[in-house]
Chain A
């Protein structure tokens, strides 16, 4: 079993829809949670970063972390065709342990 599980999709939604992306994890030592967006043939771009449990909002994006359920989510409101990309969740244990543990990524298409 991988330490981070993420449904690869693909997910296809109409423009303006609310998108929900999710990851589950097994290691309770994870404390830092990130979402990256990766366009085709590009490197991952950091979208959101949260520490421990709670919500964080940035424009149309909201990240949620529920450590008791080992479950994290990314919500995209008013989705746009430019949001079409692969979304990767990532997490780590913090401190000097620099390795990120990634989900497999969810491919999202937003059609006009």
Chain B
């Protein structure tokens, strides 16, 4: 089975711009979670989608949003980028009823 894929792998943006990141889960997995990883804060939970519905949300401002499509692929969007949004954005998928999550390679975002 192919693993979780994320595109793009690297991205450079400037303050004020917006960005969309994409995640394709493992085939058959219907739950997709997003995390932000920074050296200072570690891995922080952004949100989780299951069957196109946001089921859980972390403590991030409304500039961070996401969605999930009927094929379980997910996108997250960050509007009005700030320097502090520079991070590795990780997507993880899991099958229904499973507690373990499998991570993709991440998208490294640099905001200048």
Q: Interface of A with B (CB < 8 Å)?
A: 32, 34, 36, 41-46, 49, 51, 88, 92, 94, 96-105
**Interface 9-mer from B11-19, B41-49, B60-68, B75-83:** B41-49
B25 at the interface (CB under 8 A from A): no
Chain B's closest residue to A104 (CB) is: B42
Whether A43 contacts B90 by the Cβ 8 Å rule is: yes
Q: Interface of B with A (CB < 8 Å)?
A: 4, 31, 33, 35, 42-43, 45, 48, 50, 55-56, 58, 90, 92, 94, 99-106, 108
Residues of B near A92 (CB, < 8 A) are 99
Residues of A near B94 (CB, < 8 A) are 98
Whether B42 contacts A36 by the Cβ 8 Å rule is: no
CB distance from B42 to the nearest CB of A (A): 4
Whether A99 contacts B48 by the Cβ 8 Å rule is: yes
Give bound CA distance, A36 to B104, whole Å. Answer: 13
* A-B contacts, CB under 8 A, total: 57
Question: 18 A-B pairs, CB-CB below 8 angstroms?
Answer: A32-B100, A43-B104, A44-B43, A44-B103, A46-B101, A92-B99, A96-B50, A97-B56, A98-B55, A99-B33, A99-B56, A99-B58, A100-B35, A100-B43, A100-B45, A100-B101, A101-B45, A103-B42
Given contacts A44-B103, A99-B58, A102-B43, could you give 10 more A-B pairs where the C-beta distance is less than 8 Å? A34-B100, A42-B105, A43-B105, A44-B90, A49-B100, A94-B99, A98-B33, A100-B35, A100-B45, A101-B45
Give bound CA distance, A34 to B43, whole Å. Answer: 14
Secondary structure of the A side of the interface? loop
Give bound CA distance, A105 to B104, whole Å. Answer: 18
